[in-house]
Structure 1
């Protein structure tokens, strides 16, 4: 986010400061750039689980090709913003109400994850006198090479997708159920991958699998959803996934394989992470057992990502000179500090042993890359602390 935007807001913010700030202009420009670099055969969808706030969705619906959702509630959030934007619907545990809601709200593609889910969808679509357009989610037998992705949903035993050995029966069943229209495959095997070359190899593998199924069964797919899985480097924010190089490789890959289907990429974190920051005031600074601690107004009940992923989240110090107490201001100079929240648990830690030039009670920490999986995965009401302010800026 732009430093001036943060600075202007923090100078007017009452103490104790605690807020999420979102830069919608930056989000608009970033999404346009990411989409524009892709080959024309590719579509860029936003996985709204990363941040489903209405201003975020309203910004992105004008600049991307659609949204990926994982619940009926998320479908309804999208439809509250736009009644016709394309939606793809994933998730291993779809209820009957969710499948019916997907049909009611004209979801473009439903990702089917099991035989039972497929049969239930066919039954529900039949009762509604509709045809359900589906992608079968494949859990591949293996993935190519090594990867530094932090999460794996495919190529091993997980709750996601259909075992590759079961795909022949699932394809045959899809073709025989009267209310199902098989449109292609969904293969989303990794999450938070930081290496563009590795991700390109993964997409190549997906293309080969899809084209092999087409040849084997004499069918033509319309879509291959290659998932998201492109990560954010929180340890080194200056070094991020090489999107432009990845897109150049995609151009060459599609020229080589010439698939008849279109590709969907359903990114979340990679699109919205750097449009937001989390700001929290330092309430106290103290030393126990030789270690320095900064205690925040806020913490993991607002911003759970660092404790969930067990990383030091990047932050900068915003100096606030106001000090209204009639006694000395606690602080540190050129020292390591562990940053903790206000909760009654040692797990409420956002960064450990980070060097700061100066930090004082009353200053604010600005956590960057907080526009995705921050507020939206947090346990907001634990201990009943006040929620942070949440502001959206557009220009």
Structure 2
């Protein structure tokens, strides 16, 4: 059980469930520990898709932000992320959006190249504006993202033709939740060898390598808990073996943020059907999503409290199916979860939801409200987004009745 420092204030202020609480003290402590363990061997880039609400809080803790959509870019603008700290990524970049960014920010930042089309419109835009912008070529891991080695060789061999581009190096990401270092070691060796090949064959000296390690996050009770000191120490040894002498940037999202997030939901009904016990919650799978939670069979870190926030300690544990409020049989968060004499208004506090749950849920299904979002920092609980009523998104506009189009 984690220390729920926010819980007393949450209850005192009669904060309603369902809600997320992001503990910014946990966030800052965790990220700073990661940076200390890396010992300056790599810069840290926050993949903000993991949790866009943490973009502003991350400003003081990370070197760069990976931004993958126009919406994410607008969030960065609103919270004041300097363009110099942005890596503008994404498999599709609308030329009009790129033109806006270049004109507004004067060519600052870094842009990823995912295709020949990306290469052309980035170069054309930059040349037309008299700029030379910094780019990273994304190397594919065997899917729709990035470019293969042969195309990258062609680009590097003809790099002088692209007057608007300064090619900093490579970007590579192959996936998340890697349970051991062997895959990362193999990937880093491949990238190191390929950069050496580009240097030998084309005289190209890369300045940066941006790599997404995809470090494992132990979401469930049966997952092996990894010691960060041991894990990042061993990963640092992999970085030490690189012959590449430029800057290494580690792109991370899930591993940076998972610990700081809590999801609070309340029991609103109980029933027994054909011998199976069901607790109905005011949240559901539209709010809570753990990576790898197969058929709701894995038990996450979760604590049962009464409505005053006191842990339930009396009584024998019984197995209950925790179901949400959606009208679909799929809305099962956890099957056979141990509860002690559950009462209506008891709260369940799900831990380790700092990454993705806040944006990955099927929020619009059945037009239920989105949860409230709170920050907890230095003893203060702050509402940063109130409940959002999705029925307004899921219905026609009032003016459409008259056939008007704005």
Give the shorter-chain TM-score range.
Answer: 0.7 to 0.9
Match of 1:347 in 2: 330
Question: Which moves more between the two structures, 228-237 or 276-285?
Answer: 228-237
Residues in 2 aligned to 1:225 and 1:14: alpha-carbon distance in whole angstroms:
45
Residues in 1 aligned to 2:291 and 2:174: alpha-carbon distance in whole angstroms:
23
Matched, 1:86 2:85: yes
Change (3 A) 1:173 1:244: farther
Match of 2:17 in 1: 17
| Counterpart among 354, 359, 364 of residue 381 in structure 1 | 364
Change (3 A) 1:15 1:249: closer
User: Cα RMSD over matched residues?
Assistant: 2.6
Change (3 A) 1:98 1:230: farther
Question: Which moves more between the two structures, 369-378 or 74-83?
Answer: 74-83
Residues in 2 aligned to 1:102 and 1:243: alpha-carbon distance in whole angstroms:
37
| Residue pair 2:363, 2:370 contacting (<8 A) in 1 also | yes
Matched, 1:314 2:315: no
| Residue pair 1:49, 1:69 contacting (<8 A) in 2 also | yes
| Counterpart among 74, 80, 87 of residue 72 in structure 2 | 74
Match of 2:27 in 1: 27
Question: Which moves more between the two structures, 9-18 or 40-49?
Answer: 9-18
| Residue pair 1:195, 1:242 contacting (<8 A) in 2 also | no
Matched, 1:199 2:184: yes
Change (3 A) 1:174 1:358: farther
Match of 1:40 in 2: 40
Q: CA deviation at 1:254?
A: 4.0
Q: CA deviation at 1:372?
A: 1.0
| Residue pair 2:11, 2:308 contacting (<8 A) in 1 also | no
Q: CA deviation at 1:276?
A: 1.1
String of CA shifts for 1:237-261, please: whole Å, max 9, x gaps. 7734444334333443444334221
Question: Which moves more between the two structures, 356-365 or 252-261?
Answer: 252-261
| Residue pair 1:50, 1:272 contacting (<8 A) in 2 also | yes
Match of 2:204 in 1: 219
String of CA shifts for 1:310-346, please: whole Å, max 9, x gaps. 5534321112379xxxxxxxx9952222211101112
Residues in 2 aligned to 1:247 and 1:277: alpha-carbon distance in whole angstroms:
25
| Counterpart among 244, 258, 261 of residue 259 in structure 1 | 244
Residues in 1 aligned to 2:66 and 2:308: alpha-carbon distance in whole angstroms:
44
String of CA shifts for 1:270-300, please: whole Å, max 9, x gaps. 1111111000001112122332221110112
Match of 1:143 in 2: none
Question: Which moves more between the two structures, 63-72 or 4-13?
Answer: 4-13
| Residue pair 2:184, 2:213 contacting (<8 A) in 1 also | no
Matched, 1:135 2:122: no
| Residue pair 1:306, 1:350 contacting (<8 A) in 2 also | no
Alignment of 1:328-347 (within 5 A): 333-347=316-330
Question: Which moves more between the two structures, 183-192 or 168-177?
Answer: 168-177
Give the alignment's TM-score, normalised by structure 1: 0.85
Q: Report the count of equivalent residues.
A: 369
Residues in 2 aligned to 1:186 and 1:310: alpha-carbon distance in whole angstroms:
34
Q: CA deviation at 1:83?
A: 4.5
| Residue pair 1:319, 1:364 contacting (<8 A) in 2 also | yes
Alignment of 1:269-288 (within 5 A): 269-288=254-273
| Residue pair 1:307, 1:350 contacting (<8 A) in 2 also | no
Give the alignment's TM-score, normalised by structure 2: 0.83
Residues in 1 aligned to 2:182 and 2:226: alpha-carbon distance in whole angstroms:
10
String of CA shifts for 1:6-29, please: whole Å, max 9, x gaps. 430443364863211111111111
Residues in 2 aligned to 1:354 and 1:214: alpha-carbon distance in whole angstroms:
56
SS at 2:173's partner residue? Answer: coil
Question: Which moves more between the two structures, 82-91 or 240-249?
Answer: 240-249
Matched, 1:371 2:354: yes
Residues in 1 aligned to 2:281 and 2:373: alpha-carbon distance in whole angstroms:
17
Q: Which runs of 5 or more residues in structure 2 are unaligned?
A: 379-406
Change (3 A) 1:270 1:129: same
Q: CA deviation at 1:228?
A: 4.3
| Residue pair 1:130, 1:179 contacting (<8 A) in 2 also | yes
Match of 1:149 in 2: none
Change (3 A) 1:230 1:306: closer
Q: CA deviation at 1:208?
A: 2.5
Q: CA deviation at 1:187?
A: 1.1
